[in-house]
Amino acid sequence: MIDFRYHLVSIVAIFLALALGIILGSTTLSQSVTAGLRRQAQSVAQTNEQLKRQQRQLESQLKGEDQFAEALGPQFVAERLKGQSVVLVETPGASNDSIEKVGELLKAAGATVTGRVTVQKKFLDDDQRTTVDELATQLRPSGMNFPAGAGPYDKAAAVLASALVTRDAAKAGREDAAGGTILNGFREMGYLTTSGKPGSHATLAVVIAPSVPYATEGGDEDNKALISVATGLDAAGRGAVVGGPATAAQEGGLITALRDSDTEKTISSTDAVDTASGQVVTVLALQNELAGKSGQYGTGSGASGYLPTPVPAVGKNG
């Protein structure tokens, strides 16, 4: 007869066997999992190293292409803007290096750079809207009428543009008393600073966008104000181009705001102005503006291509 002690010993033996099986099984499983993870880690490391090599190759290639464009750019743009003049407009947060390099290339293209206008942050402050409106009304040239529904920055842009650019070949390159009064008024209010002779009435304008999108509250309104400035310059002169780095074509950037507005139909833009090739595109875009053609260029959203297609011929500048 099998007694209770036998059953107890049998049950204990069964549990011991189960425990031993679990231990042995888990050890085998652990070794298998570890080996699998090790293989995956090695694969990821190899992929990561390949990506690093590709990145270095791309960076080297881009650097070489930029050096190529910088070296040959002046030759490529030569004579494309012969007889034209350009005013440079710097927005708050724009890259000084981009402005300087664009200015040099414009000279290589045969254009005269009349001067530089630097818009101050105060001009965009919300608490200045009424003052901007009043100043624009006060400085409005004789015979200028503001469109119905024009806002403070639309008015200010029209007044300021009348002092900076012109479509009249006879007026180009000349300063006048009215323009001087306008520029002095904006300077005295702390809305802008100037260098060179921006009141000499250029035929074209280049607006350099902020390098970093306006992310603070009111950023959209700041972009609208700057678009008004570009619109005023385009309307009063023979064309305007807004240039900025790739970040300007990201969310909140000035170029993104421009391309999302109706203004994109009349004002050109490039989102690669911080590169040598993008600076060449700026010249080509101005050349097309003289012919009444506007386009959006670069690699960001809304760009139709990196550069105008077809590329305008040398000497065809309207």
Domain for residue 73, yes or no?
A: no
User: Do residues 199 and 175 lie in contact, with contact meaning Cβ atoms separated by under 8 Å?
Assistant: yes
**Alpha carbon of residue 257 to chain centroid:** 10
Write the DSSP string, the chain.
---HHHHHHHHHHHHHHHHHHHHHHHHHHHHHHHHHHHHHHHHHHHHHHHHHHHHHHHHHHHHHHHHHHHHHHHHHHTTTTTT-EEEEEEPTTB-HHHHHHHHHHHHHTT-EEEEEEEE-GGGG-GGGHHHHHHHHHHHPPTT--PPTT--HHHHHHHHHHHHHB-S-TTTTT---HHHHHHHHHHHHTTSEEEEE-GGG-BSEEEEEPBSS---STTHHHHHHHHHHHHHHHHHHSS-EEEE--GGGGSTT-HHHHHHTSGGGGTSEEES-TTSHHHHHHHHHHHHHHHTT---EESSSTT-SBSS-SSPPPTT---
Tokens of 25: 């099984």
Number of structural domains found in the chain: 1
Residue (of 25, 23, 21, 102) closest to 272 by Cα position: 102
Domain for residue 252, yes or no?
A: yes
pLDDT of residue 249: 96
Ranges in the chain, pLDDT < 70: 1-33, 37, 41, 54, 57-66, 68-69, 316-318
Gap between the Cα atoms of 71 and 8, Å rounded: 93
Q: What is the CATH number of the domain that holds 89?
A: 3.40.50
pLDDT of residue 96: 93
Domain for residue 233, yes or no?
A: yes
Domain for residue 237, yes or no?
A: yes
Domain for residue 33, yes or no?
A: no
Gap between the Cα atoms of 255 and 250, Å rounded: 8
Single-letter amino acid, residue 65: E
Gap between the Cα atoms of 13 and 289, Å rounded: 93
Domain for residue 182, yes or no?
A: yes
Domain for residue 155, yes or no?
A: yes
Residues counted in the chain? 318
Tokens of 42: 């090695």
pLDDT of residue 212: 93
Gap between the Cα atoms of 140 and 158, Å rounded: 9
Gap between the Cα atoms of 58 and 98, Å rounded: 23
Q: Which residues pair with 194 in a beta bridge?
A: 117
pLDDT of residue 20: 56
Gap between the Cα atoms of 242 and 247, Å rounded: 13
Domain for residue 53, yes or no?
A: no
Residue (of 113, 110, 115) closest to 81 by Cα position: 110
The parent domain of residue 239 ranges over 78-297
